[in-house]
């Protein structure tokens, strides 16, 4: 599975990967590769390989977690890193002064997905509003209002202290797995229970709360539209009139 952390410059994408690397057990994480210039600017991309064993330990899910460089001049690099992405986390900066940069990054993501033959409405997407510790930020209520207007799950975070990082990642993992499962029937082919796999991943990332609690911290957006995880919910998705349409391109 290829997951990409996208967003404007200095929003905290690399910081999310560093926090996940710190959380992951030694058996689950590979080497975190970062390539930065001075002032924390990612030059090309960061890469963190993660491997999660299923509950029964006979299936391994390998994830390649990338960040893009956020500075506007690196648009072609972002397009390249985005190729074949199965899911995207958009890391936005909560400060009011960054509103335009967040919006520009969203449009840049949409354009680069389109240029890669993909479609943002069909791409598993989770939004993180980072830097909640700073002054002059959008209020919680503003974020909630924005979140409830869209279908993407939205999470608040202070990535530099590790807050909200796990929640964002697990939500992205759930959305992406569910979408790939719809397209490729992964769960059935591999005899893997998606809900169990997510629980295993959370455990291997040293989560101290149950998944429902972690995913329940989202400020809005619906997982329900996707049918959720596991056997109980796959029957629900069969009944549901609004599962997300499967992606047709760029999948792994």
Ligand X SMILES: Nc1nc2c(ncn2[C@@H]2O[C@H](COP(=O)(O)OP(=O)(O)OP(=O)(O)O)[C@@H](O)[C@H]2O)c(=O)[nH]1
Q: Which residues bind ligand X (CB under 6 A)?
A: 7, 9-15, 40-42, 67, 69-71, 130-131, 133-134, 158-160
Burial of 136 (0-12, 13-18, 19+ CB in 10 A): exposed
Query: Residue 42 interacts with Mg ion (CB under 5 A)?
Result: yes
Distance of CA 162 to CAs 12, 42, 153, 154, 182, Å?
11, 19, 19, 16, 32
How many residues make contact with Mg ion (CB under 5 A)? 3
Query: Closest separation between CB of residue 11 and ligand X, Å?
Result: 4
Query: Residue 54 interacts with Mg ion (CB under 5 A)?
Result: no
* Residue 95 β-bridge partners: 137
Question: First vs last Cα of the chain: how many Å apart?
Answer: 6
Query: Closest separation between CB of residue 36 and ligand X, Å?
Result: 7
Question: Taking the CB of residue 207, how many other CB atoms lie within 10 A of it?
Answer: 17
Region 133-152 residues binding Mg ion, contact defined as CB under 5 A: none
Pairing of strands 2-6, 87-93: parallel
Question: Taking the CB of residue 112, how many other CB atoms lie within 10 A of it?
Answer: 22
Q: Find the binder of Mg ion among 3, 12, 14, 93 (CB under 5 A).
A: 14
Query: Residue 70 or 124: which CB sits closer to ligand X?
Result: 70
Query: Residue 168 or 233: which CB sits closer to ligand X?
Result: 168
Query: Residue 179 interacts with Mg ion (CB under 5 A)?
Result: no
Query: Closest separation between CB of residue 167 and ligand X, Å?
Result: 14
3-state secondary structure of 60: strand
Binding mask 158-177 for Mg ion (x = CB under 5 A): --------------------
Query: Closest separation between CB of residue 108 and ligand X, Å?
Result: 12
Q: Which does 130 bind (CB under 5 to 8 A by kind): Mg ion, ligand X, none?
A: ligand X
Distance of CA 41 to CAs 36, 49, 76, 132, Å?
5, 21, 16, 21
Q: Which does 158 bind (CB under 5 to 8 A by kind): Mg ion, ligand X, none?
A: ligand X
Query: Closest separation between CB of residue 39 and ligand X, Å?
Result: 8
Strand 2-6's sheet: what is its strand order? 46-53, 60-67, 2-6, 87-93, 125-130, 154-156
Instruction: Please give the residue ranges that form the binding site for Mg ion (CB under 5 A).
Output: 13-14, 42
């Amino acid at each position: 599975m290829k997951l990409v952390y996208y967003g404007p410059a200095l929003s905290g994408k690399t910081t999310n990967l560093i926090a996940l690397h710190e959380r992951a057990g030694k058996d689950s994480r590979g080497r975190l590769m970062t390539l930065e210039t001075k002032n924390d600017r990612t030059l090309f991309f960061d890469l963190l390989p993660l491997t999660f064993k299923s509950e029964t330990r006979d299936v391994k899910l390998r994830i390649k977690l990338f960040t893009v460089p956020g500075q506007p001049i690196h648009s072609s690099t972002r397009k390249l890193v985005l190729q074949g992405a199965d899911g995207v986390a958009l890391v936005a900066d909560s400060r009011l002064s960054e509103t335009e940069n967040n919006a520009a990054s969203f449009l840049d993501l949409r354009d680069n997905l389109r240029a890669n033959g993909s479609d943002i409405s069909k791409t598993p997407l989770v939004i993180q509003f980072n830097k909640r510790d700073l002054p002059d930020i959008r209020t919680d209520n503003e974020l909630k209002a924005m979140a409830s207007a869209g279908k993407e799950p939205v999470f608040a975070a202070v990535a530099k202290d590790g807050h909200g990082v796990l929640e964002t990642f697990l939500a992205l993992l759930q959305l992406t797995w569910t979408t790939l499962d719809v397209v490729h029937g992964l769960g059935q082919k591999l005899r893997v229970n998606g809900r169990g796999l997510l629980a295993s991943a959370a455990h291997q990332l040293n989560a101290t709360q149950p998944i429902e609690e972690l995913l329940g911290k989202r400020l809005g957006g619906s997982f329900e539209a996707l049918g959720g995880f596991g056997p109980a919910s796959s029957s629900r998705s069969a009944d549901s009139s609004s599962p997300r349409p499967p992606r047709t391109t760029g999948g792994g």
